């Protein structure tokens, strides 16, 4: 057990980590996703970029099994490691998810070490029915250290700043040694200090062998380690390719307003024209 499995375990399969083909997601009268084709391989560093309401979070929820796609569409599927049949254990091994929804759920009276340990069980905090071992605590502490937060282990979660809580969530996502870490809008509601610390943690994690999927509405969140851009607009994949897609023409079409783009020391900055 450990947050870092042997390096040769990642990418052993010849199949992609996740493969989505011809997928649409409908809830009530709303079409959240339409005809999505997306493949993510082992070790890829990807940003899923788009405005609020474009379908980014719906796409992530489809990847991790929270959203069920319209199976009546011929030849539509979501494959995990090459198979359409997978369970909760497979998902925990494949994806570690960090989201605002999960952060809200974890805002309870527990210490941060318990919050991280709960990742082993997919629960919100730990309880007496769960068998915790010294090895699990060691892995949890290593996970906290990997995001620069071991000093928070015995702090109560409700006393944390938003940025501190976000890093604890990252540690929680790491304890199952996932093959991909999904960060859904990790910079939301953070001040400059919080963004700096979370960005440091993201960059550190991006240098590991696992895949990283950064989901954001803001190009300034993109770290230099990212090398693939998936743009989502109106529930579809608008563009998918390398960093050359990050240009003013594409961003203007993506956001629907005139956009200017700057780059300084590997960091992107985008703003709209009045």
69 and 25 Cβ atoms separated by less than 8 Å: yes
| Selected residue with higher pLDDT from 223 and 265 | 223
What pLDDT does residue 1 have?
47
Contacts of 190 (CB under 8 A, 6+ apart): 162, 163, 166, 198
Both structure tokens of 250: 């594409």
Does 132 score more than 90 pLDDT? Answer: no
What pLDDT does residue 4 have?
47
| pLDDT tens digits for range 168-225 | 999 999 998 999 999 999 999 999 999 999 999 999 999 988 999 999 999 999 999 9
What secondary structure letter does DSSP report for 221?
Answer: G
What secondary structure letter does DSSP report for 188?
Answer: T
- Spell out the domains of the chain, with CATH numbers in brackets: 7-272 (3.40.50.300)
119 and 172 Cβ atoms separated by less than 8 Å: yes
- Which 3 state secondary structure label does DSSP give 217? coil
Closest by Cα among 114, 95, 115, 113 to 105 = 115
133 and 142 Cβ atoms separated by less than 8 Å: no
| pLDDT tens digits for range 50-102 | 999 999 999 999 998 888 888 888 889 999 988 887 887 788 789 999 988 77
Does 110 score more than 90 pLDDT? Answer: no
Does 10 score more than 70 pLDDT? Answer: no
- pLDDT confidence band for 153 (50 / 70 / 90): very high
Give 87's Cβ-side CA count (13 Å radius): 1
What pLDDT does residue 13 have?
59
Question: What phi and psi, each to the nearest 5 degrees, are found at residue 116?
Answer: -70, -40
Q: 134: how many CB neighbours lie within 10 A of its CB?
A: 7
Q: 170: how many CB neighbours lie within 10 A of its CB?
A: 26
Does 108 score more than 80 pLDDT? Answer: no
Mean pLDDT over each residue of the chain, to the nearest integer: 90
Q: What pairs with residue 39 in β-bridges?
A: 19
| pLDDT tens digits for range 16-34 | 999 999 999 999 899 999 9
| Selected residue with higher pLDDT from 129 and 139 | 139
**Burial (0-12, 13-18, 19+ Cβ within 10 Å), 59:** buried
Measured CA to CA, the distance from residue 68 to residue 23 in angstroms comes to: 9
- pLDDT confidence band for 5 (50 / 70 / 90): very low
What pLDDT does residue 266 have?
84
What pLDDT does residue 12 have?
53
């Amino acid at each position: 057990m450990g947050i870092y499995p042997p390096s040769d375990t990642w990418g052993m399969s010849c199949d992609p980590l996740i493969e989505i083909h011809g997928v649409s997601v409908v809830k009530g009268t709303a079409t959240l996703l339409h005809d999505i084709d997306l493949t993510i391989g082992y070790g890829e560093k990807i940003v899923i970029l788009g405005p609020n309401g474009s379908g980014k979070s719906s796409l992530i929820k489809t990847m991790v099994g929270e959203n069920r796609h319209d199976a009546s569409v011929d030849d539509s599927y979501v494959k995990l490691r090459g198979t359409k049949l997978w369970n909760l254990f497979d998902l925990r091994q494949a994806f570690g998810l960090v989201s605002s929804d999960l952060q809200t759920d974890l805002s309870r009276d527990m210490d941060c070490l318990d919050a991280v340990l709960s990742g082993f069980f997919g629960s919100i905090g730990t309880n007496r029915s769960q068998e915790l071992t010294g090895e699990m605590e060691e892995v949890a502490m290593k996970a906290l250290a990997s995001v620069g937060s071991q000093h928070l282990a015995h702090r109560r979660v409700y006393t944390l700043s938003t940025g501190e809580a976000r890093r604890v969530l990252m540690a929680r996502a790491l304890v199952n040694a996932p093959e991909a870490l999904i960060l859904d809008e990790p910079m939301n509601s953070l001040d400059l200090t919080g963004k700096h610390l979370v960005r440091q943690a993201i960059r550190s994690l991006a240098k590991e062998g696992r895949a990283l999927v950064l989901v954001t509405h803001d190009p300034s969140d993109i770290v230099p380690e990212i090398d693939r851009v998936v743009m989502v607009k109106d529930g579809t994949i608008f563009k998918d390719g390398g960093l050359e897609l990050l240009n003013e023409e594409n961003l203007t079409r993506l956001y629907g307003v005139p956009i200017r783009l700057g780059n300084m020391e590997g960091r992107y900055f985008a703003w709209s024209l009045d």
